[in-house]
């Protein structure tokens, strides 16, 4: 059936085609069924039925489809009912416990990238990966598929480097510090990061408190060329773009799918052109990985996959049983970073130490001698701070770093929580701190969050443990209630 | 945030809330995220963003939501972002291979019934059921949950009976004949059926060629009271309503999930008030179940579950390696049924025989003596035909059965396919016949389909094998191409 396009400025979060009820009847499709739309190529869309908006001879396209189809209003397209796509047979094959070939994985991932699979179909795929597992060969092929279906960057220079933490630790905002130190030491770091998924903030969200992070590929390249590094949001660059769609579906259950984790990280690094990579796997109670042994096992898998892509990859297993840094929430984490880079007397020691450790490990991997000493010298001398400033200014195209930093503000409502009795802080839950910050308004309200005055160790009665920041009285009440009920910080 | 309702006549196939872009920004939700809408109770919806349609202080509701919320235009509701629901934690628990309790399963199923879970979340649930399996106790609890979250019927009389085939065989339209025979023998059969899922037609679709099938609960009850039976579509009655939503998600991959199959069938029967049940499990090459042994294993599970609900259930394993009856497609199948009921000389023997077999098995289960002989007598004497007429007329509220039957018409284009050489028909693929009929236009175009002149056995050159019926020349060409390419009927 031929229908005329009506482009709607309508964001449905998935490719939706809106039909008149009579057209739907003729095509014999119901709402939520799939149709094939053919012009020079065929794309698939989910059907909505909206008679008031769309006439019988029209098809309304959601923004997600407008972007793919790129046809003007009233252009004519062929619309037909869509049977199961080949990708669904392949997903079923994986559900049946069989291995998928590189070609088959490319097919599935390409269908995900082109929005031709529904979230439910992606859920089946990730469930099959999780429950039936993937062999190392399959995981490598999955990684290849994720790289092939996206943009791939190339940079000049011998040591294109990156660091990546598998996450799960509150705070732990080492990336901007490591990037500043290592770029000062001469490494090239085309660093892209994500926004918060379940934490108080992601690296991209923290950088965004003082900088643009949605860079075009052109701006990203010129920033890296000029300063040796960048601190961009990875979401809009098209590097392994299937990843974001899969993560979105995993998030529905907060599911950790190991082959997907491995493929996700390695595909992003290869796509960004990195060759020297440090992978940080925090372990311990309350971390994603419970024990050192499990962390090492995961590390071995990272190493194996990296060999297939000729990467110089080193895994470091770090202690992850409590948060790192004092501030949690976009602005509070940026203030921690700045205090470390500026060598302020009250800067968090753990964040400084972990950043130095990761920097020197990455520098060592890139054949820099006396790496630890050099990293310390770069940080202490203020060179890292200057490099950070240069990166941010170049990224923004304006030399207004100081003004941006000065305008950082914490939230209107503030409350200090003191220890009710003397004792020992035995546990600070990463998940608990993240939930607390989410209640206070992070990551959306960048001025909100929590500041931790004490880490694990002794505390005296009435000493401050936490300061809470929020822009809403109700949220403050909810946060206090949460603290009392769930006790994310245990004092014995 | 308080927003004013705007009810839209928009069928999205799932509960969708349409927001203005500014409102979405304030709530910090993106398209495809979930929001909670609270009035006297809280319901959940998926976000679409459509600034042209919805003002900042408004929330547009899709039809699916309008039905649940039942508030007028401009009524005010509280809208907030929705965190993971408790059900997602429970689904994750099942993903982790743990058992779910009755209470937990009720929670999940109830969320499905109330549209509070997305299709992707339901996909995770069915994938976990499929890959981690369910214990018998869990399957019983799943069945209980599916019953509890729906309507439950009660009928007077001792022998409330039903028959159910697990499907997969083309044709095989025994239900109307069995219902007519058994109702004549005094059993009570509140029969509900589904429309086609992957076949050429479902029982409901076949009955619909001459009758209303979407009955209200009231009409269903009065039809059963008056005639001893009904032949209704089960979809709109609210019996185990979670089932349709789960089947919809399983269909994405044509997935067979055994615990779901067991729970689906038993929950529908218990909800309809049936106590005496024959389960027909066809087995063989091209059937859902490949061997008699596997069919028996599945039968044992049916039996075990039925004990928990105090049902008198008998499993019969029947040969399912070729289609049953001659006609495939709504009208062609109705003509087969009528020819059996009317004892026409050219009525399909296999359909007649299987209907008699199932009828006598069900009658035996209901303590009727000489069941086979009685069933034959009821059919041969025309009593079954009269009962069928009575049920259809009562269901329609009009005595116009003959007129309805006379108006049955086959499609405009007709083509006879003859044997190219003499030999033996060794295989007639159920799936192939279904695909052929789908290409010809079934189940939507009720006049289309295929008529099989020969079953497995000898055939001579130029003898007719099939007659194809369709309303479209293109479809006829496609069907011929399909026959030549896939050879669903093999002659050796």
Three-class SS of B359-418:
HHHHHHHCCCCCHHHHHHHHHHCCHHHHHHHHHHHHHHCCCCHHHHHHCCCCCCEEEEEE
Alpha carbon distance B325, B303 (integer Å): 29
Q: Alpha-carbon dihedral of residues B115, B118, B123, B124, nearest 10 degrees? A: -110
The reply to whether residue A8 touches residue B50, judged by beta carbons under 8 angstroms, is yes
Residues of chain A numbered 108-127 and touching chain B (CB < 8 Å): 118-124, 127
pLDDT at residue number A315: 98
Q: B2-81 has which fold?
A: Barwin-like endoglucanases (2.40.40)
Residue B331 reports pLDDT greater than 70? yes
Q: A82 to chain B, minimum CA–CA distance in Å?
A: 12
Tens digits of residue pLDDT in A24-64:
887 877 777 778 888 887 788 888 888 888 999 999 998 88
- Average pLDDT over every residue of A163-180: 96
The two structure tokens encoding residue B209: 């060629």
Residue matched to tokens 């199923």: B109
The reply to whether residue B10 touches residue A91, judged by beta carbons under 8 angstroms, is no
Let me know: does A115 contact A15? Beta carbons within 8 Å: yes
Residue B81 reports pLDDT greater than 80? no
In which band, very low, low, confident or very high, does the pLDDT at A197 lie, cut at 50, 70 and 90? confident
Question: Please, which residues bridge with residue A233 across strands?
Answer: A193
The reply to whether residue B8 touches residue A50, judged by beta carbons under 8 angstroms, is yes
Which one of A1, A7, A11 would you mutate to disrupt binding with B, by most B Cβ within 10 Å of its Cβ? A11
Residue A111 reports pLDDT greater than 80? yes
> Of A118, A122, A253, which has the smallest distance from its Cβ to B92's Cβ?
A253
Which one of B31, B44, B60, B471 would you mutate to disrupt binding with A, by most A Cβ within 10 Å of its Cβ? B31
Chain B residues near residue A13 by CB distance under 8 angstroms: 30-33, 46-48
Which strand (E) or helix (H) includes residue A163? strand A161-165
Catalytic residues of B, which ones?
256
Residue B467 reports pLDDT greater than 80? yes
Q: Tally helices (H) and strands (E) across chain B.
A: 19, 18
Q: What are the φ/ψ torsions at residue B118 (nearest 5 degrees)?
A: -80, 165
- Residue partners of B338: CB distance under 8 A and separation at least 6: B344, B405
Tens digits of residue pLDDT in A349-362:
999 999 999 999 99
Per-residue DSSP letters for B420-459?
SS-EEEEEE-HHHHHHHHHHHTTTTSTT-EEEES--SEEE
Tens digits of residue pLDDT in A435-492:
899 889 898 889 999 999 999 999 999 999 999 999 988 889 989 999 998 899 999 9
Give the largest Cα separation in chain B, rounded.
Answer: 76
Let me know: does A100 contact A138? Beta carbons within 8 Å: yes
Catalytic residues of A, which ones?
256
Q: B186 to chain A, minimum CA–CA distance in Å?
A: 40
Strands A457-459 and A423-428: antiparallel
> Of B14, B121, B253, which has the smallest distance from its Cβ to A95's Cβ?
B253
Flag whether residue A253 sits within 8 Å of chain B, measured between CB atoms.
yes
Tens digits of residue pLDDT in B221-270:
999 999 999 999 998 899 999 998 898 889 888 888 999 999 999 999 99
C-alpha separations of A170 from A98, A164, A286, A330, B400 in Å: 38, 15, 10, 12, 73
Could you give the percent of chain B with pLDDT greater than 70? Answer: 99
Residue matched to tokens 């190219």: B420
Let me know: does B229 contact B179? Beta carbons within 8 Å: yes
Residue B457 reports pLDDT greater than 80? yes
Chain B residues near residue A31 by CB distance under 8 angstroms: 11-14
Q: A12 to chain B, minimum CA–CA distance in Å?
A: 5
Alpha carbon distance A196, A211 (integer Å): 16
Q: B349 to chain A, minimum CA–CA distance in Å?
A: 34
Residue A84 reports pLDDT greater than 70? no
Q: What three-state secondary structure class fits B85? A: coil
Flag whether residue B472 sits within 8 Å of chain A, measured between CB atoms.
no
Q: B123 to chain A, minimum CA–CA distance in Å?
A: 5
Flag whether residue A96 sits within 8 Å of chain B, measured between CB atoms.
no
Per-residue DSSP letters for A87-113?
HHHHHHHHHTTPPPPHHHHHHHHHHHH
The two structure tokens encoding residue A381: 């001398």
Nearest Cα residue to B153 out of B205, B247, B242, B225: B225
Per-residue DSSP letters for B302-342?
HHHHHHHTT-EEEEEEEE-SS-BSSEESHHHHHHHHHHHHT
Residues of chain B numbered 402-461 and touching chain A (CB < 8 Å): 444
Cα B209 to chain center, whole Å?
17
Chain B residues near residue A14 by CB distance under 8 angstroms: 31-32
Domain A161-404, architecture per CATH: 3-Layer(aba) Sandwich (3.40)
Least confident among A169-173, B118-122, B162-166: B118-122
The reply to whether residue B123 touches residue A128, judged by beta carbons under 8 angstroms, is no
Mean pLDDT of chain A: 93
pLDDT at residue number A220: 97
Which strand (E) or helix (H) includes residue A47? strand A42-49
Q: Check the CA dihedral B25-B27-B31-B37 and report its sign.
A: negative
- Average pLDDT over every residue of A279-303: 96
In which band, very low, low, confident or very high, does the pLDDT at B56 lie, cut at 50, 70 and 90? very high
Least confident among A187-191, A283-287, B98-102: A283-287
> Of B12, B95, B248, which has the smallest distance from its Cβ to A48's Cβ?
B12
Q: What are the φ/ψ torsions at residue B239 (nearest 5 degrees)?
A: -85, 120
Alpha carbon distance B402, A42 (integer Å): 47
- What's the CATH code, domain B413-491? 3.90.1170.30
Nearest Cα residue to B7 out of B58, B80, B47: B58
A-to-B residue pairs, Cβ atoms closer than 8 angstroms: 147
Residue B70 reports pLDDT greater than 80? yes
Per-residue DSSP letters for B246-267?
HHHHHHTTT---HHHHHHHHHH
C-alpha separations of A330 from A212, A444, B391 in Å: 14, 9, 69
For CATH 3.40.1030.10, the residue range(s) in chain B are 161-404
pLDDT at residue number B83: 61
Residue of B nearest to A54 (CA): B10
Residue matched to tokens 């008679």: A51
Alpha carbon distance A438, B79 (integer Å): 18
Chain B residues near residue A62 by CB distance under 8 angstroms: 48
pLDDT at residue number B18: 92
Tens digits of residue pLDDT in A247-263:
888 988 888 899 999 99
Q: Where are the beta strands (DSSP E) in A183-303?
A: 189-193, 229-233, 276-283
Which one of B33, B89, B95, B252 would you mutate to disrupt binding with A, by most A Cβ within 10 Å of its Cβ? B252
Chain A residues near residue B127 by CB distance under 8 angstroms: 95, 123-124, 127-128, 131
Q: Which residue has the higher pLDDT, A340 or B200?
A: A340
Residue A236 reports pLDDT greater than 90? no
Let me know: does A355 contact A226? Beta carbons within 8 Å: no
- Residue partners of A88: CB distance under 8 A and separation at least 6: A117, A121, B252, B253, B254
Residues of chain B numbered 4-23 and touching chain A (CB < 8 Å): 8-14, 16, 21
- Average pLDDT over every residue of A351-376: 98
Q: Where are the beta strands (DSSP E) in B70-114?
A: 76-81
In which band, very low, low, confident or very high, does the pLDDT at B417 lie, cut at 50, 70 and 90? very high
Q: Is the backbone of residue A64 left (phi > 0), alpha (psi -120 to 50) or beta? A: alpha
Q: How many C-beta atoms lie closer than 10 Å to residue B460's C-beta?
A: 11
Q: What are the φ/ψ torsions at residue A387 (nearest 5 degrees)?
A: -60, -45
In which band, very low, low, confident or very high, does the pLDDT at A176 lie, cut at 50, 70 and 90? very high
Residue of B nearest to A16 (CA): B12
Let me know: does B174 contact B329? Beta carbons within 8 Å: no
In which band, very low, low, confident or very high, does the pLDDT at B84 lie, cut at 50, 70 and 90? low
How many Cα atoms sit within 13 Å of A168 on the Cβ side?
22
The reply to whether residue A14 touches residue B28, judged by beta carbons under 8 angstroms, is no
Let me know: does A16 contact A62? Beta carbons within 8 Å: yes
Chain A residues near residue B128 by CB distance under 8 angstroms: 127, 131
CA angle B419, B425, B427 (to 5 degrees): 125
Q: B297 to chain A, minimum CA–CA distance in Å?
A: 20
Per-residue DSSP letters for A174-209?
-HHHHHHHHHHTT-BEEEEE---SSSS--HHHHHTT
The two structure tokens encoding residue B247: 């089947």
Indicate the DSSP class of residue B211: S
For CATH 3.90.1170.30, the residue range(s) in chain A are 413-491
Chain B residues near residue A122 by CB distance under 8 angstroms: 120
Flag whether residue A128 sits within 8 Å of chain B, measured between CB atoms.
yes
C-alpha separations of B410 from A253, B328, B403, B433, B470 in Å: 50, 12, 16, 18, 8
Flag whether residue B29 sits within 8 Å of chain A, measured between CB atoms.
no
- Average pLDDT over every residue of B103-130: 92
Q: B451 to chain A, minimum CA–CA distance in Å?
A: 23
How many Cα atoms sit within 13 Å of B32 on the Cβ side?
20
The reply to whether residue A31 touches residue B53, judged by beta carbons under 8 angstroms, is no
Chain B residues near residue A54 by CB distance under 8 angstroms: none
Residue B352 reports pLDDT greater than 70? yes
Residue matched to tokens 């006297």: B40
> Of A14, A32, A124, which has the smallest distance from its Cβ to B127's Cβ?
A124
Flag whether residue B55 sits within 8 Å of chain A, measured between CB atoms.
no
Question: Please, which residues bridge with residue A199 across strands?
Answer: none
Tens digits of residue pLDDT in A130-159:
999 999 999 999 999 999 999 999 999 999
pLDDT at residue number B16: 87
Alpha carbon distance A264, A270 (integer Å): 10
Alpha carbon distance A358, A174 (integer Å): 8
The highest-confidence range among B24-33, B84-93, B354-363, by mean pLDDT, is B354-363
- Average pLDDT over every residue of A232-241: 90
Alpha carbon distance B488, A285 (integer Å): 59
The reply to whether residue A32 touches residue B13, judged by beta carbons under 8 angstroms, is yes
CA angle A351, A486, A417 (to 5 degrees): 60
pLDDT at residue number A225: 97
Strands B327-328 and A16-19: unpaired
Q: A365 to chain B, minimum CA–CA distance in Å?
A: 38
In which band, very low, low, confident or very high, does the pLDDT at B414 lie, cut at 50, 70 and 90? very high
For CATH 2.40.40.20, the residue range(s) in chain B are 2-81
Tens digits of residue pLDDT in A379-434:
999 999 999 999 999 999 999 999 999 999 999 999 999 999 999 999 999 989 99
Which segments of B191-291 does DSSP mark as H helices, in order?
203-207, 217-227, 242-251, 258-271
Which one of A124, A245, A443 would you mutate to disrupt binding with B, by most B Cβ within 10 Å of its Cβ? A124
Residue B41 reports pLDDT greater than 90? no
Nearest Cα residue to A435 out of A344, A329, A340: A329
Mean pLDDT of chain B: 93
């Amino acid at each position: 059936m031929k229908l005329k396009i009506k482009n709607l400025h309508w964001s449905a979060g998935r490719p939706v085609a809106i039909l008149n009820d009579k057209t739907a009847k003729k095509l014999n499709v119901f709402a939520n069924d799939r149709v094939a739309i053919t012009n020079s190529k065929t794309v698939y869309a989910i059907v909505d039925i909206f008679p008031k908006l769309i006439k019988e001879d029209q098809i309304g396209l959601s923004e997600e489809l407008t972007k793919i189809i790129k046809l003007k209003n009233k252009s004519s397209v062929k619309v037909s009912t869509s049977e199961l796509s080949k990708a669904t047979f392949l997903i079923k094959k994986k559900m049946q416990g069989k291995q998928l070939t590189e070609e088959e994985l490319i097919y599935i991932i390409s269908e995900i990238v082109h929005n031709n699979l529904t979230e439910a179909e992606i859920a089946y795929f990730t469930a099959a990966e999780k429950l039936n597992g993937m062999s190392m060969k399959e995981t490598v092929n999955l990684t290849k598929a994720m790289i092939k279906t996206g943009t791939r960057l190339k940079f000049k220079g011998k040591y294109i480097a990156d660091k990546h933490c598998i996450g799960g630790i509150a705070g732990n905002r080492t990336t901007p510090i490591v990037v500043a130190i290592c770029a000062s030491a001469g490494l090239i770091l085309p660093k892209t990061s994500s926004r918060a998924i379940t934490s108080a903030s992601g690296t991209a969200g923290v950088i965004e408190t003082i900088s643009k992070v949605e860079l075009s590929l052109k701006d990203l390249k010129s920033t890296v060329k000029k300063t040796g590094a960048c601190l961009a949001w990875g979401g809009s660059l098209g590097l392994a773009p299937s990843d974001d769609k899969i993560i979105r579906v995993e998030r529905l259950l907060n599911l950790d799918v190991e082959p997907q984790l491995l493929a996700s990280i390695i595909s992003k690094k290869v796509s960004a052109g990195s060759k020297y990579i440090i992978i940080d796997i925090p372990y311990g109670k309350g971390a994603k990985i419970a024990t050192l042994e499990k962390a090492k096992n995961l590390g071995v898998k990272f190493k194996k996959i990296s060999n297939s892509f000729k990467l110089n990859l080193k895994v470091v297993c770090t202690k992850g049983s409590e948060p790192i840094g004092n501030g949690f929430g976009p602005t509070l984490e940026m203030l921690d970073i700045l205090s470390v880079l500026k060598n302020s007397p009250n800067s968090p020691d753990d964040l400084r130490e972990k950043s130095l450790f990761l920097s020197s490990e990455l520098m060592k991997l890139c054949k820099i001698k006396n790496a630890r000493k050099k990293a310390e010298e770069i940080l202490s001398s203020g060179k890292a701070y200057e490099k950070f400033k240069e990166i941010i200014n170049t990224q923004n195209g304006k030399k207004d770093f100081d003004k941006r930093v000065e305008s950082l503000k914490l939230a209107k409502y503030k409350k200090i929580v003191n220890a009710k009795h003397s004792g020992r802080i035995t546990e600070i839950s990463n998940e608990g701190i993240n939930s607390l910050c989410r209640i206070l308004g992070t990551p959306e309200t960048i001025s909100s969050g929590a500041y931790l005055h004490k880490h694990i160790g002794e505390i005296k009665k009435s000493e401050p443990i936490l300061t809470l920041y929020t822009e809403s009285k109700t949220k403050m009440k909810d946060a206090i209630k949460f603290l009392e009920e769930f006790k994310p910080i245990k004092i014995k």
